[in-house]
Amino acid sequence: MVNSVLRHQLVRLQNREDLTRDEAAELLVAMLADDASDVQIAATLVALSAKGETVDELSGLAEELRERAVRVNSGHEVFVLVPRARARALRKLSMSQRRPHL
């Protein structure tokens, strides 16, 4: 199945056309859709990067991401979510810096 929004926006990006804020938000929705293939998403992101992202494009993508984000209420004053690989590296570093008890 072909995602028509991605196909259309990919052609525009390959032609070095800038997207509006709303079009960039629509692009993110299209990339997250079930019918978007990995190849389409990759090609779109490469084309956007090669063209050079504008402030409006980045803002539209960020706004749409924020709208889709799930708020985490941890009950703590400060809550930092660390990716699993980074957490393992930090734990390993922490353990290597511990001094033996004398």
pTM for the predicted model, two decimal places: 0.69
Q: Coil, strand, or helix at residue 16?
A: coil
> Which two structure tokens, joined as six digits, stand for 51?
């063209």
Report the range of poorest mean pLDDT among 2-6, 20-24, 28-32, 41-45: 2-6
Domains, the chain, with CATH or none: 4-73 (1.20.970.10)
Q: What is the pLDDT of residues 57-91, one digit of tens each?
A: 999 999 999 998 887 777 877 777 767 766 666 66
> Is residue 58 within 8 Å of 97, Cβ to Cβ?
no
**CB neighbour list of residue 79: distance below 8 Å, 6 or more residues apart:** 72
